[in-house]
Amino acid sequence: MRYHPGTAIEKARFLLELDPLRSWFFYSLWYKDDRAPKGGVAGTYYEFGVGWGNSMRRYFQALQDFCRYKGRDLSQFHAFGFDSFQGLPPKAAPQDDHWSWTEGGMSTDQATVLRKVFRGTGLQTRVHLELVPGYFEKSLTPALRDRLAKTPPSIVTIDVDYYSSTKTVLEWLRPILPSGTLFYFDDIWSFHGHPKKGEIAAIREFNAQEKGWLVPFPKLSTTSMLDRTFIYAREEFEFGSDRGTSAPRPPASLP
């Protein structure tokens, strides 16, 4: 007999067993909604490295579940997907050099992504999704960032494989990142924790600038998400009675 979960928590636990990433999105939306200003929403989703659309599809599935159980309006949410839609670029640094990543790998096109993301969901006309094509060095412009500053990210997925691409993304995002932004780093263990390669190296360098920090956030780390979940804190923490004071320093060690 198939189990049909009733409550939101039962639903999340059920999804956890079947699809950990979809469950992670569900928990993250719930976490952000609980901390949103009165009358606010759980925020905007940014995904860097859309690939074939698998993660984006899971986000929208989780968003649909979340809105159903929380009574939120889907039309209030925005999502942005950033990808070359030409596959991986050439490796730009020694820290990118992983045997399984090759130029042009994981190439797809926007139409294919949209079909996969929305197949069978009926969400096409109910949500706001914008795909931003191009290699990040050219597509992530100051003008685009200024435009998106009105809808800063609340949840971010970084699935760009390379150290160099991760570094480009993080530096571009920094000026518009609010404290409390949740990050999921898909490829963080590609180099088995090597501190000078891949996404870990980019995170360490980002934190070393002392302008804000990405801190491991086990509160939302389910079994397979463990150590892929981070939360951002600005140097000038901007909420409540802490406005204008320095954010707590993160632990010295990272994965």
pLDDT along the chain (255 residues), means of 10: 54 62 89 77 88 89 88 89 77 54 64 79 73 93 95 93 88 94 85 78 93 88 70 80 37 44
Q: Where in the chain are the domains?
A: 18-240
* C-alpha dist (Å) from residue 108 to 113, 119, 136: 7, 16, 16
Contact 218, 255 (CB under 8 A): no
* C-alpha dist (Å) from residue 156 to 11, 42, 77, 225, 232: 23, 13, 14, 14, 10
Write down the pLDDT at residue 100: 47
By CB neighbour count within 10 A (0-12 exposed, 13-18 middle, 19+ buried), where does 229 fall? buried
Write down the pLDDT at residue 240: 47
Q: Report the alpha-carbon distance of residue 223 to residue 205 in Å, rounded.
A: 27
CB atoms within 10 A of CB 148: 18
How far is residue 251 CA from its own chain's centroid?
A: 22
By CB neighbour count within 10 A (0-12 exposed, 13-18 middle, 19+ buried), where does 199 fall? buried
> Model pTM?
0.82
Among candidate residues 113, 119, 130, 135, the one with its CA nearest the CA of residue 55: 113
Alpha helices for the chain (secondary structure H): 8-18, 20-34, 54-70, 110-118, 136-139, 142-148, 163-173, 198-208
Write down the pLDDT at residue 140: 96
Q: Report the alpha-carbon distance of residue 164 to residue 150 in Å, rounded.
A: 27
Among candidate residues 23, 38, 36, the one with its CA nearest the CA of residue 152: 36
Residues 18-240: name the CATH superfamily. Answer: Vaccinia Virus protein VP39 (3.40.50.150)
Write down the pLDDT at residue 68: 86
Beta bridge partners of 214: 232
The DSSP secondary-structure symbol of 153 reads: E
